[in-house]
């Protein structure tokens, strides 16, 4: 029987983990420019009735334009399969404060 050499204690990658947490925390805190943008961001729907395009539509009953028409009774629905996307042309650079997705029930 051969003796088994003792194992070295396992090293924990805490420095990398701590560094990652600090980086995330630094990015999450808005700087002066971020605070100014948030203060000027309005409450209007920037996407309402704007031009919308999509990767696909499930059918003619669910066009991309239905995603931005303001009518809760209509919706865009993509073809089944990934990846799918929806793009809205806001017409100019906008400060976006919130994005609301109303998923089909």
Q: Note the pLDDT of residue 58.
A: 97
Rounded Cα distance between 69 and 49, Å, is: 5
In DSSP terms, 51 is beta-bridged to 89
Q: Which band of pLDDT confidence, cut at 50, 70 and 90, is reported for residue 60? A: very high
Rounded Cα distance between 23 and 29, Å, is: 10
Q: Where are the domains of the chain?
A: 45-104
- Once rounded to an integer, what is the mean pLDDT over residues 72-98? 94
- Once rounded to an integer, what is the mean pLDDT over residues 65-80? 96
User: Around Cβ 68, how many Cβ atoms within 10 Å?
Assistant: 21
Q: How far is CA 21 from the centre of its chain?
A: 20
Tokens representing 7? 């194992």
Give the alpha-carbon dihedral of 25, 27, 33, 38, to 10 degrees: -70
Q: Note the pLDDT of residue 32.
A: 52
For domain 45-104, is the CATH number 2.60.120.260? yes
């Amino acid at each position: 029987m051969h003796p088994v050499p003792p194992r070295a204690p396992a090293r924990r990658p805490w420095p990398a983990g701590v560094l990652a947490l600090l980086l995330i925390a630094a990015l999450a805190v808005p700087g002066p420019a971020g605070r100014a943008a948030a203060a000027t961001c309005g409450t209007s729907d920037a996407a309402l009735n704007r031009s919308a395009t999509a990767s696909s539509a499930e059918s003619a009953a669910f066009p991309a334009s239905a995603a931005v028409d303001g009518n809760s009774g209509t919706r865009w629905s993509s073809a089944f399969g990934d990846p799918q996307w929806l793009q809205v042309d806001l017409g100019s650079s906008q400060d976006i404060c919130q994005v609301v997705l109303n998923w089909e029930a």
